[in-house]
Amino acid sequence: MSFIDNMKEKIITSSNSYQFYKDNYKKLVSQNTDNKKLIKTLQKENKNLHRINEELKESDNQYKNIKEDINALSDRINDNFNIINQNNNELSENINKIKDNIRTNSLLIQDDIEVMTESSDKNNSELKNTITNLNDNFQGFSQGIESFDKNTSELKEVINNLNDSFNDFSQDIKSIDKSTSDLKDTITNLDGNFKEFSQDMTTKDNLVENDLNDRLDCINENVEDLEAKFRIFHSNIQESQNNLEQYKGTYNDILRRIREVNYGLVFNDTIKNSSWLHNENFSSNNGAANYSFLYLLYRILNEVKPSNILELGLGQSSKLTTQYTNKFTHSKLTIIDQDKTWIENFSKNLDFCKNISIKYVEVEEFEYNNTTNTRYRDLEEKLSDNKLDLVIIDGPTGFLPSGEFQSYPRSNILTLIDKLDDEFIIILDDYDRTGEQNTMKNLQEKLDEKGIEYTFKAFYGLKNQGIICTPKYDFITWF
């Protein structure tokens, strides 16, 4: 079993273990949440029972106050009835005394009348009038006494009715007192039940709290264990990722080198017995044109036979383009570079004809999308009006003087679209870099805006190349 397979197995095992602890942790958290909800419910019910108990105590106090008021009212009513009975008795005694006095006085008066009648005839007439008046007054007084007796009788009846009502009221008070006593017993029972329930709830609350604390302690221990295992798992994953990245980088580097070796072998086989390539001393190293680039360029030159070539950047690829132009005199080659010393030294290794020109063009910095980049200054003015059917882009350099790679290098091609022939091929070297990929994307957008049909293909070696061609030359994408 390979190292990568071992690492995959470790990752899967760690992942399963992590998932197991993660699931258990979720269950414990769920149980903890349910227990918390139960405690909140019990605490809420406990508060409700306390509130009911307080309301019952308040009702008991209100009942005591009402009973005290009723007792006080009952005492006042009894006192008033006693006073009324006493006054009634005194009044009855006074009436009886008055009646007795009236009867006595009436008898005395009658006796006096008889004596006076016998003794004096002279005053008989006046005496009769006096007696008549006295009789009239006595009759009126008798009627008043009868009326008073009647009123007294009615008053006694009212007093009797009040006594009956008071008796009924007393019965009601006794009934209320009994109901109140029953209510107090009920309250006492409820209070006892509440205390018992409260004690039971307190016991259960303590049990639940203790159980919850035990569970939380268990959860914390499991979480700590889980965190420790997860840290180990994460460390293993990180280590595995680092190893995989290293292996991936190593694999990609090996793959690039294998492809490069393959392109080198194919290139050497392809140029054998070439009718125009006689100088085969290529130095495909470091930043120079690699074998995938040389192979692709040779095939295009040999099979397409371009007539107007623009090469941006003097280098190993120029050994191909100059020999091709020397052989096929119908073609013209323009090479652009920004380094005079390089032009002077490298040109000594090249053969020139009248159709080949090498031009020095300065570079300038420009800002695009908040980034600093370089390009050949006024390149369009340095070129002839001939339409280009092959553009080779390997310059200017793709990095700044500081050594930082540019975000949009070699962008002169964007202003050369109008100088392209109806059928054309564009080769952009170093397409493995992000900056060159951005420039290629901008070029494709420009071609789309102008409605120009094209095919794109990337070639992969030690370095990569991006190719754009019109449909006529689609066959080069199969090289």
CATH number of residue 333's parent domain: 3.40.50.150
26 lies in some domain = yes
What does the mean pLDDT of the chain come to?
83
Domain boundary, last residue among 213, 233, 253: 233
Q: What is the mean pLDDT of residues 437-451?
A: 98
Q: Which of these ranges, 38-42, 320-324, 429-433, 470-474, has the smallest mean pLDDT?
A: 38-42
Residue-level pLDDT at 8: 60
Both 275 and 337 in one domain: the answer is yes
Q: Residue 81 burial (CB < 10 Å; 0-12/13-18/19+)? A: middle
* Per-residue pLDDT at 429: 97
In a domain, 261, yes or no: no
Please give the pLDDT value at position 396.
96
pLDDT of 6 over the 70 cut: no
Domain count, the chain: 2
- 297-303-309 Cα angle (round to 5): 55
- Domain boundaries, position 182: 11-233
pLDDT one-digit tens code per residue, 367-412 = 999 999 999 999 999 999 999 999 999 999 999 989 999 999 999 9
Q: Are residues 307 and 207 in the same domain?
A: no
What pLDDT sits at residue 127?
Answer: 53
Model pTM score: 0.55
Provide the pLDDT confidence category of residue 141 given band limits of 50, 70 and 90: low
- Whether residue 383 lies inside any domain: the answer is yes
Task: Report yes or no on 5 lying in a domain.
Answer: no
- Say if residues 233 and 15 touch (Cβ distance below 8 Å): yes
Q: Which helix (H) or strand (E) holds 450?
A: none
pLDDT at 183: 66
Kindly tell me if the per-residue pLDDT of 139 is higher than 80: no
User: What distances in angstroms separate CA 268 from CA 401, 418, 458, one per listed residue?
Assistant: 36, 36, 21
| Any domain includes 246 | no
Same domain, 318 and 456: yes
Q: β-strand 464-469 against 371-376: which pairing, if any?
A: unpaired
pLDDT in tens, 196-205: 767 877 887 7
Task: Please indicate, yes or no, whether residues 453 and 390 belong to a single structural domain of this protein.
Answer: yes
Query: Can you tell me the distance from the alpha carbon of 120 to that of 172, in angstroms, rounded to the nearest whole number?
Result: 73
Exposed e or buried b per residue across 216-228, where buried means at least 16 C-beta atoms within 10 angstroms of its C-beta = eeebeeebeebee
| Token pair 């072998």 in the structure block, residue | 265
Residue 125 pLDDT > 80: no
51 & 185 share domain? yes
Report whether 267 contacts 461 (CB < 8 A): no
Let me know whether 158 and 289 are in one domain.
no
Last residue of a domain, one of 214, 233, 252: 233
Q: How far is CA 48 from CA 43, 54, 59, 224, 327, in A?
A: 9, 10, 16, 39, 107
Strand partners, 358: 335
Choose one of 180, 203, 233: the last residue of a domain.
Answer: 233
Top mean-pLDDT range of 150-154, 261-265, 308-312, 349-353: 308-312
| pLDDT at residue 174 greater than cutoff 80 | no
Residue 32 shares a structural domain with residue 149: yes
Domain membership of residue 241 (yes or no) is no
